[in-house]
Amino acid sequence: MVLYAIAAMMPLLPSMQELSTSTKTIVGSVWLVTRWAAFWVLGATTFWHTRPRLLLWAAVAMLVAFLGIAIRPSDLFSAAGLPAFIDLASMIVWQAILGVALGVIYSGSLYFGMVLSDGSTEHGGYHEALIGLGSILGPGVGLLAMTVSSAGIRAGIAGVAAVVSATVLVAAGASIYAGRPRAGSGTGDCPRPNGA
């Protein structure tokens, strides 16, 4: 949801409107670079294979980063009279965090889903179906909120943030539930690959 919503909203954000077209392209691509870097690091390491709760922390980081990208520091601290470069720097930093979070979520979702389903291709179908749902929900909620409210882009940001917050709460609930011991199973932790 965040990926497609932020792509649709980014041209409307005040920090982006002040930039030239070529600069917008570079600034708007920061999260793609850090997402690629996250894929590379996660692909080259296995430390995260036994840490399924990393997905929950990445989801929280994704939500906070979305808000950090969409809401300028000068909007939050208007009395401070912050210079414009602070808004731009903030957007770049939050995009970098968003890219890492999205890389962790994507890689972790595939990995843990495949571990829990013993490599079933059915999980891949669920994974892609959820991506498709997010590609509709993210921009759709933003558009709906902007259409029914006179607050414009702020309503879109609030709408997307509300839906993403709900998904983070569901993920937290699932994480707590999965971590609870069950009768006869010893622990509720994610199965460790290769007996690790």
Q: Where are the domains positioned within the chain?
A: 2-9+27-180
Which of the pair, 193 or 106, is modelled with greater confidence? 106
Q: Using one digit for the tens of pLDDT, what is the confidence trace for 91-130?
A: 999 999 999 999 999 999 888 888 877 777 777 788 788 8
Q: What is the pTM of this model?
A: 0.85
Q: Which pLDDT score is estimated for 38?
A: 97
Give the mean pLDDT of 163-177: 91
Q: Which pLDDT score is estimated for 37?
A: 98
Q: Which pLDDT score is estimated for 76?
A: 87
Three-state SS for 74-140 is HHHCHHHCCCHHHHHHHHHHHHHHHHHHHHHHHHHHHHHHHHHCCCCHHHHHHHHHHHHHHHHHHHH
Q: Is 18 helix (H, G, I), strand (E, B) or coil?
A: coil
Q: Which pLDDT score is estimated for 182?
A: 67
Give the mean pLDDT of 54-79: 92
Which of the pair, 110 or 161, is modelled with greater confidence? 161
Confidence of residue 146 (pLDDT cuts 50, 70, 90): very high
Helix and strand totals (H; E) in the chain: 9, 0
